Amino acid sequence: MSDRNPGIEFDASWLEHVYVNLPAVKRRAETLGTRRYVKKQWQSAWLLRAVTCIDLTTLSGDDTASNVSRLCFKAKNPVRDDLIKGLQMEDAGITVGAVCVYPNRVADAVKALKAANASHIPVASVATGFPTGQTPLKTRLEEIRMAVADGAREIDIVINREYALTGNWRGVYEEVKAMREACGDAHLKTILATGELGNMVNVYKASLVCMMAGADFIKTSTGKEGVNAIFPVALVMVRAIREYYQKTGYKVGFKPAGGIRSAKDSCTWLILMKEELGDEWLNGQLFRLGASSLLIDIERQLFHQVYGRYAATHEIPMS
């Protein structure tokens, strides 16, 4: 990842005059992916870039060491060798951005990546009572420390939605700051669970407060809410990132998660980052896509680019 965001002192005055023009946000979101779109060989390049930004994820109750191992193999070889060769990208070393698992599966993921000679791919772990965060702070902090001790290099935490909904922004700040300290050298990605924050003003304030507390990334959703990664919410969050960068000089990453399944959508997310934050955010250092099934559709589109037809079901397995 990029250089750490050290955070700043809590600044309540920054939150006093936050206003979000919701109709304008919606109009802007509707134009994404419609005014321009990448095609042909440029589309292939963008899709491969999207692959390098994916946090390949499994967060199921029936996760086992074996299915985590399969996920890690896919993380190292996310696109079939014949497609990589057909696109003349053999020397690019295409891998996903990270493998994301529950804390209990971190050691399995680290072991599998090491066996695959892919230890350069970081293991990310959700923590702090994911997805609800409804456990005592002491327990949440210990969960972070255990995941880091097992080899997690990135930690995806959930914020305290009660504090956010009741306007206790200093409470949000203090908890996220404590979680940042518990991470040690591991990067911190804070999940806002935007579908549960009530309104866009809360989304903007939560984004700013988490960055003040030292978040290296802000993330839309757990993937378990009724509303997950949507473009209006993303616009509000990336505008907060831009304001934070302009005021402090620190770059913070962005991660949409939940419901991102199509190759076309992945390109639209890249367009959003390019237009709102610039080319510096168009990489896995500052942009991630939280997804479990997106890679299947990207491979289908790349197959079409190489062979001129869409793959049959048996040619690109569903998992």
What are the structural domains of the chain? 13-308 (3.20.20.70)
| Bridge partners (DSSP) listed for residue 188 | 155
Q: What tokens does 273 get?
A: 């980052």
For residue 31, the surrounding DSSP H or E stretch is helix 22-31
| Tally of CB atoms within 10 A around 3 | 9
| Tally of CB atoms within 10 A around 201 | 15
Q: What tokens does 61 get?
A: 């109750």
Helices (H), 191-276: 200-212, 231-248, 263-276
Nearest to 268 by CA among 219, 234, 300, 311: 234
CA separation for the pair 294, 154 (Å, rounded): 21
Low-confidence ranges of the chain (pLDDT < 50): none
User: Catalytic pick from 219, 247, 251, 264?
Assistant: 219
CB neighbour list of residue 46: distance below 8 Å, 6 or more residues apart: 38, 266, 267, 270
pLDDT at 2: 65
pLDDT at 318: 54
pLDDT at 36: 64
| 111 is annotated as an active-site residue | no
CA separation for the pair 315, 319 (Å, rounded): 12
- How far is it between the farthest Cα atoms of the chain? 58
Q: Report whether 192 contacts 218 (CB < 8 A).
A: yes
pTM value? 0.94
| 205 is annotated as an active-site residue | no
Helices (H), 53-189: 65-76, 81-86, 106-115, 137-149, 161-165, 169-183
Local structure of residue 257 (DSSP, 8 states)? B
pLDDT at 92: 85
User: Catalytic pick from 76, 177, 189, 255?
Assistant: 255
CB neighbour list of residue 249: distance below 8 Å, 6 or more residues apart: none
Q: What tokens does 48 get?
A: 């491969």
| Burial letters 154-191, b for 16+ CB under 10 A, else e | bbbbbbbbebbeeeebebbbbbbbbbbebbeebbbbbb
CA separation for the pair 291, 54 (Å, rounded): 7
Nearest to 132 by CA among 169, 164, 158, 103: 158
pLDDT at 31: 87
Q: Report whether 123 contacts 106 (CB < 8 A).
A: yes
Residues 94-152: tens digit of each pLDDT: 999 999 999 999 999 999 999 999 999 999 999 999 999 999 999 999 999 999 999 99
Residue carrying structure tokens 């990029």:
2
